[in-house]
Amino acid sequence: MCWLIILVLLGKRFYEFTFNTDTVETIFVDTSRGTKLRINIDFIIPAVSCDYLALDAMDTSGEQHLHIEHNIFKRRLDLAGNPIEDPKKEESLGTGKHSHGEHNDTALAVPKCGSCYGAEDPARNITCCNTCEEVKEAYRHKRWNFPEPDKIEQCQSSHDAEKITRALKEGCQIYGYMEVNRVGGSFHIAPGQSFSINHVHVHDVQPFSSSVFNTSHIIRHLSFGRNKIAGKANPLDESVSIASEGKLVNHQVLFKTSLFRNNCINNQW
């Protein structure tokens, strides 16, 4: 009888050791360097055109991340949410897209040294403004309000006029991924061209007022990391945020992400 009890107990322990597993959680310091964090996004901003939306990533000190590896696309939408054209890849993100004298604006047949309309600044090497963007940049450095575009000769190109016309008559889908250093930081999508002046990050929405932009949006997808995990839910997927009319609303979400790793036993998780 005793041998039978011993055999039953041994069989039970063998079964528990072989077929039952316990989940053990441990915390360790990640000493790897140089690895990146992938941020996967798919946002729809229904009432602001792609031309007037900027995506920026910044670290905890407020400095913009440089040399971000990214695969971000913008797709123009009509106000009903229907695609207008094929998506276009963003060549660069955030501040520093252009430097003075290196803009992609299509300039009119203006003199080789166009006027900056009083915003010339030889100390900053701003003496000529041959494109609309160069005039805007000169005014930014002076911290002056930009005049009406129809009063600026360099802003009379059909390209600039078209961008202004459709700014509030289209929507935009921004999707793809970007890879940033694994440090504290933030990213945001906001109306206006972003730039840095005196180490302060700002957005220029001229010739509009910030209150005219409807920042309502849909987060179709937002996740972190390269690998998809079966059964893992992303809490903000398909969430909708509605902005109050006549106000530029700042929608802010705080995340704290932690790296984790699963080890399997006998090919079972």
Within a 10 A sphere around the Cβ of 55, how many other Cβ atoms?
21
Whole-number Å distance between alpha carbons of 75 and 207:
23
pLDDT tens string, the chain, 269 residues long: the values are 677 788 778 777 777 666 666 666 777 776 766 678 889 999 999 998 998 888 888 777 555 664 455 788 999 999 999 999 888 877 666 544 443 444 444 444 445 788 898 888 888 888 898 888 888 888 888 878 777 777 888 877 656 677 878 888 999 999 999 888 787 888 888 887 776 666 666 676 767 777 788 888 999 999 988 877 666 778 889 988 888 765 667 778 888 777 766 666 555 54
Exposure string (b/e) for 154-175, b if CB count within 10 Å is 16 or more?
bbebeebeebbeebbebbbbbb
Name the residue among 46, 64, 55 with its Cα closest to residue 191.
55
Contact 47, 152 (CB under 8 A): no
Handedness of CA 215, 169, 208, 149 (dihedral sign): positive
Whole-number Å distance between alpha carbons of 203 and 98:
15
Using a cut of 0.85, tell me whether the model's pTM lies above it.
no
Query: Residue 65 has what pLDDT?
Result: 60
Query: Residue 170 has what pLDDT?
Result: 92
Query: Residue 76 has what pLDDT?
Result: 93
90-121 per-position pLDDT tens digit: 766 654 444 344 444 444 444 578 889 888 88
Contact 68, 178 (CB under 8 A): yes
Contact 95, 195 (CB under 8 A): yes
Whole-number Å distance between alpha carbons of 162 and 155:
11
Phi-psi region of 162 (alpha: psi -120 to 50; beta: other; left: phi over 0): alpha
The pairing of beta strand 239-241 with beta strand 217-224:
antiparallel
Query: Residue 183 has what pLDDT?
Result: 79
Query: Residue 93 has what pLDDT?
Result: 63
Report the DSSP beta bridge partners of residue 197. Answer: 200
With residue 10 as reference, give the H or E element that holds it: helix 2-19
Query: Residue 247 has what pLDDT?
Result: 61
The pairing of beta strand 88-89 with beta strand 69-77:
antiparallel
Name the residue among 264, 226, 232, 262 with its Cα closest to residue 26.
262
Q: How many residues does the chain have?
A: 269
Whole-number Å distance between alpha carbons of 82 and 77:
5
Query: Residue 45 has what pLDDT?
Result: 92
Task: Kindly report the backbone phi and psi dihedral angles of residue 211, in degrees, each rounded to the nearest multiple of 5, phi listed first.
Answer: -70, -15
Query: Residue 171 has what pLDDT?
Result: 92
